[in-house]
Amino acid sequence: MQLSKSSAKVLRAFLDDPDEEQYGFGLMRSTRVKSGSLYPILERFERLRWIEGYDESIDEHAEGRPKRRLYRLTALGEREARKAVAEFYRDVGQSPAWVPGIEGA
């Protein structure tokens, strides 16, 4: 799969801690990908079943904020994301040592 720079950043955020739930604003902050690009990327990864999205189950009044849409990397997504990110860096040149999941991809 061909990744854009923004898609690679989003996948790297998920791969940094594959078990961690992510949400839109947190991803925008950590990746610096703007919402107009981020949400279509998340929708595409959901369609591919690389991530699963679901609405947070909280009492909005008690928490003092609206519910978030949370995203979690799937097992398939973790495998495919590692391959796709490795391929992205092979295509653009030498990958930085800190990019997760390059080994054995």
Domains and CATH numbers, the chain: 5-92 (1.10.10.10)
Q: What is the pTM of this model?
A: 0.81
User: What does the pLDDT look like over 14-45, one tens digit per residue?
Assistant: 999 999 999 999 999 999 999 999 999 999 99
- How large a percentage of the chain has pLDDT more than 70? 88
Say whether pLDDT at 76 is over 80: yes
Q: Which segment of 9-13, 25-29, 88-92 scores lowest on mean pLDDT?
A: 88-92
CB neighbours of residue 7 within 10 Å: 24
Q: Are 4 and 89 in contact (CB under 8 A)?
A: no
Quick one: which of 92, 94, 93, 74 has its CA closest to 82? 74
Residue type, 26: G
Tell me the average pLDDT across 54-79: 92
